[in-house]
Amino acid sequence: MAGLGNVAFRELVAEFGGFGLLFTGMCSAKAVHQENRYISKVFKWRDEELPFLVCQLLGGDPDSMALAAERVQREGFFGVDLNFGCCAAAICKKGGGASILKDPALAKRIVAAVRERVSIPLFVKFRTGWERDPLRASKEAAQMAASFEEAGADALIFHPRMAPDRRLRPPKWEDIRLVKEAVSIPVFGNGNIFETSDCEKMVNISSCDGISIGRMAVARPWIFATITDGFSPESSSNSGIYRYTAMRMMRLLLEHHDERTAVKMFKKFVPYYSAGFKFGHSISKQLLKTDSPDEILRAVDAVFATPPETTARPNMHLSL
Ligand SMILES: Cc1cc2nc3c(=O)[nH]c(=O)nc-3n(C[C@H](O)[C@H](O)[C@H](O)COP(=O)(O)O)c2cc1C
């Protein structure tokens, strides 16, 4: 996730464990072939995570996507993922992300060009396209999936929402089934997974082969451990998990970035950390009025000195 799925965040998730793969935030294909991993904020990794790390590429030009994918393979990533899902206006205007789905032939050419140049697992992350009629849109998504498989994709990550929809309506998990039925490669379902029971529901509705989690992994980086390892943050030894998570995140950001960048990055996590509490807005306010790592650590301590009242499901309005 852009701005959030950075190397420090992934280290925190890796400490909790329970996941299968981790993905970088989107990396511009045009930059990747010449990027310096020690300076870049996005194309940056720990060598230990390479065996389970997939690098996501953003771009609309088959040649630059293929060139970037070659670098990703050379660096030793587990796999490469093509971003055909982002519908932020700034990205789509430049011909990247979900805008590629407006031209299925181009989307297929990009997958084929990358396939030709790399042998590591090739993922495509996409969403229901731009068609407004829901039935036609579902059908088009399934056709697109089949064309990605034909072009050489090894697995698909599908977010069943139409492109201009953003997160205004719930994702249509039934459409994941249509995509799954259109291909023989694994399909990961994505969208609105908040807890273990949601995973069960998504699998039952869609028969998907795997699940991809976005915002909840940011809000609760232990979610994978809870789902697959039975990790329980409610047990007494884990009662301070929110305080621990915020503190650890700040410290990990400082290990990987300079102070100014680390503080700026931490603030992107604040709405997610506040989302699990009844008075999340007030928690956000306290954490955001800080200017240095020390102030942040002190504010985290103050906020969690008396454990604030939690909500059953995080208030994701805070984190949109
Ligand atoms: C702040 C933010 C940044 C995101 N950045 C990316 C990205 O870089 N690449 C991507 O494939 N999806 C990105 N997404 C979309 C998520 O990966 C995911 O598809 C979406 O949030 C729905 O899943 P969720 O309900 O589990 O969060 C982003 C979402 C958010 C909220």
Give exposure, 128-160, as e/b (b: 16+ Cβ within 10 Å).
bbbbeeeeebbebbbebbebbbebbbbbbbbbb
Tell whether ligand 1 has an atom less than 6 A from the beta carbon of residue 96.
Answer: no
Mean pLDDT for the stretch of residues 278-303: 94
Please tell me the distance from the alpha carbon of residue 311 to that of residue 288, in angstroms, as a whole number.
Answer: 21
Mean pLDDT for the stretch of residues 69-86: 98
Residue 313 above 90 pLDDT?
Answer: no
Tell whether ligand 1 has an atom less than 6 A from the beta carbon of residue 190.
Answer: yes
Tell me the best of 92, 127, 215 to mutate to test the pocket of ligand 1, counting ligand atoms within 8 Å of each CB and taking the most. 215
Query: Which residue's CA is the nearest one to ligand 1's atom 26?
Result: 214
Q: Which of 86, 87, 92, 199 is catalytic?
A: 86
Query: Which residue's CA is the nearest one to ligand 1's atom 14?
Result: 1
Mean pLDDT for the stretch of residues 220-228: 95
- Per-residue pLDDT band for 15 (boundaries 50, 70, 90) equals very high
Least confident of 186-195, 272-281, 290-299: 272-281
Task: Work out which ligand 1 atom sits closest to the CA atom of 25.
Answer: 8
- Cα 215 to chain centroid distance, Å, stands at 7
DSSP 25: P
Specify whether 86 is catalytic: yes
pTM for this prediction? 0.96
Q: Average pLDDT over the chain, rounded to whole?
A: 94
Could you tell me which residues come within 8 angstroms of residue 161 by beta carbon, excluding any fewer than 6 positions away? 127, 128, 167, 169, 171, 172, 191
- Per-residue pLDDT band for 271 (boundaries 50, 70, 90) equals very high
